[in-house]
């Protein structure tokens, strides 16, 4: 009886000590991380960080100098049914401009051994049915991104690798992409989405893998990396409010209270309700109360600056 390891069934992405050198340029250096199914994971880093090279190694398009990149426990070249396991999107403009969207998908369906009807199913799923007979040369960026996703999904793969799928999308397109990727992850798929536009990707992802100059900077659930939110509070009696807040837990860890420089206080260790209740109990007027979550961009800058300084 053939033995099947647990990793064969779990469509996780596992990158282990992965390195890629091009002559004197090290594009990826000793990179190790795991991407789990069921969530949308952002693969983040500035231009030239090594994201595309890593994704290309995952899909067998680039050979690693050393280390391994596996999907469901195997390198791409050893997958039994690659197009049913992995769908990848690399370039939003790589269409034959004279082909219609339906022609494009039918060509790829034929290459994968799928029936023509699969092309129409995907056009419908991606909201492109009305544009099916239009030439892709006339497509907007958002339509190209949808057609790219349709192509990647032809084999109903368990793992999706999307290189910059939010590039050029308007806010409506971003909202759509967010819903679509969450739905795919909710079906138990593994979804890895790269981007260098951190403010855009924030709303798309649950977990993040952050790289810089080919090296890992941070990985994990975005909410854990960001830490608990702070509270910004504006009071005409800021000094008294600060004293009340600092003295609010005589037996425990007192909240940290810092002046922001623009008249507000930034409070760590209490939520907005806690700050409001204490202010009310001590009759300190409050004019503004805001929960301040770290943006992915702030987190990324923080992580990469720390790394540079160390």
Ligand X SMILES: Nc1ncnc2c1ncn2[C@@H]1O[C@H](COP(=O)(O)OP(=O)(O)OP(=O)(O)O)[C@@H](O)[C@H]1O
Q: Given the complex with ligand X, which of 103 and 215 has the nearer CB atom? A: 215
Helix (H, G, I), strand (E, B) or coil at 85: helix
Token pair, residue 73, equals 């426990």
| Spatial CA neighbour of 33 closest among 86, 85, 70 | 70
Q: How far is CA 281 from CA 156, 241, 263, 274, in A?
A: 58, 11, 22, 11
Q: Given the complex with ligand X, which of 55 and 191 has the nearer CB atom? A: 55
Token pair, residue 152, equals 């990647």
Element (H, E) at 88: strand 86-89
**Residue 141 Cβ vs ligand X, minimum distance, rounded to whole Å:** 16
Q: How far is CA 256 from CA 232, 243, 250, in A?
A: 12, 11, 13
**Residue 46 Cβ vs ligand X, minimum distance, rounded to whole Å:** 7
Residue 68: phi and psi, rounded to 5, are: -130, 150
**Residue 42 Cβ vs ligand X, minimum distance, rounded to whole Å:** 13
Q: Given the complex with ligand X, which of 20 and 102 has the nearer CB atom? A: 20
**Residue 69 Cβ vs ligand X, minimum distance, rounded to whole Å:** 13
Q: Given the complex with ligand X, which of 43 and 95 has the nearer CB atom? A: 43
**Residue 26 Cβ vs ligand X, minimum distance, rounded to whole Å:** 8
Residue 194: phi and psi, rounded to 5, are: -90, 155
Q: Given the complex with ligand X, which of 48 and 228 has the nearer CB atom? A: 48
The C-alpha atoms of residue 48 and residue 40 are separated, in whole angstroms, by 22
**Residue 33 Cβ vs ligand X, minimum distance, rounded to whole Å:** 14
**Residue 94 Cβ vs ligand X, minimum distance, rounded to whole Å:** 15
Element (H, E) at 28: strand 25-35
Phi-psi region of 145 (alpha: psi -120 to 50; beta: other; left: phi over 0): alpha
| Spatial CA neighbour of 225 closest among 125, 294, 149 | 294
Helix (H, G, I), strand (E, B) or coil at 155: coil
Token pair, residue 134, equals 């239009």
Which residues contact ligand X by CB under 6 A? 22, 25, 27, 45, 47-53, 196
**Residue 257 Cβ vs ligand X, minimum distance, rounded to whole Å:** 39
Contact indicator for 33, 54 with CB cutoff of 8 Å: no
Q: Given the complex with ligand X, which of 18 and 122 has the nearer CB atom? A: 18
The residue count for the chain: 310
Q: Given the complex with ligand X, which of 49 and 122 has the nearer CB atom? A: 49
The C-alpha atoms of residue 267 and residue 216 are separated, in whole angstroms, by 31
Q: Given the complex with ligand X, which of 56 and 158 has the nearer CB atom? A: 56
């Amino acid at each position: 009886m053939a033995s099947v390891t647990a990793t064969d069934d779990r469509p996780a992405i596992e990158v282990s000590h992965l390195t890629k050198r091009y002559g004197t340029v090290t594009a990826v250096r000793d990179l190790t991380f795991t991407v789990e199914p069921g969530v949308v994971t952002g693969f983040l880093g500035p231009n030239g960080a090594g994201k595309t090279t890593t994704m290309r190694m995952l899909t067998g398009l680039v050979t690693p100098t050393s280390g391994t990149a596996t999907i469901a426990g195997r390198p791409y070249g050893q997958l039994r049914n690659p197009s049913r396991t992995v769908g990848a999107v690399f370039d939003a403009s790589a269409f034959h401009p004279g082909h219609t969207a339906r022609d494009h998908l039918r060509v790829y369906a034929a290459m994968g051994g799928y029936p023509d009807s699969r092309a129409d199913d995907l056009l419908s799923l991606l909201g492109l049915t009305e544009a099916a007979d239009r030439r892709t040369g006339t497509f907007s960026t958002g339509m190209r991104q949808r057609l790219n996703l349709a192509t990647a999904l032809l084999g109903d793969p368990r793992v999706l690798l999307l290189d910059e799928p939010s590039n050029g999308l308007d806010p409506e397109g971003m909202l759509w992409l967010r819903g679509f990727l969450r739905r795919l992850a909710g079906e138990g798929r593994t979804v890895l989405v790269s981007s260098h536009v951190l403010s855009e990707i924030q709303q798309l992802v649950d977990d993040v893998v952050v790289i810089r100059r080919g090296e890992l900077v941070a990985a994990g659930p975005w909410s854990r990396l960001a830490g608990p939110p702070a509270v910004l509070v504006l009071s005409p009696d800021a000094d008294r409010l600060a004293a009340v807040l600092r003295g609010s837990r005589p037996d425990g860890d007192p909240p940290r209270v810092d002046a922001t420089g623009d008249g507000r206080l930034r409070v760590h260790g209490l939520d907005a309700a806690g700050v409001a209740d204490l202010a009310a109990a001590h009759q300190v007027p409050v004019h503004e109360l805001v929960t301040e979550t770290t943006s992915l961009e702030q987190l990324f800058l923080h992580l990469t600056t720390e790394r540079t300084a160390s």
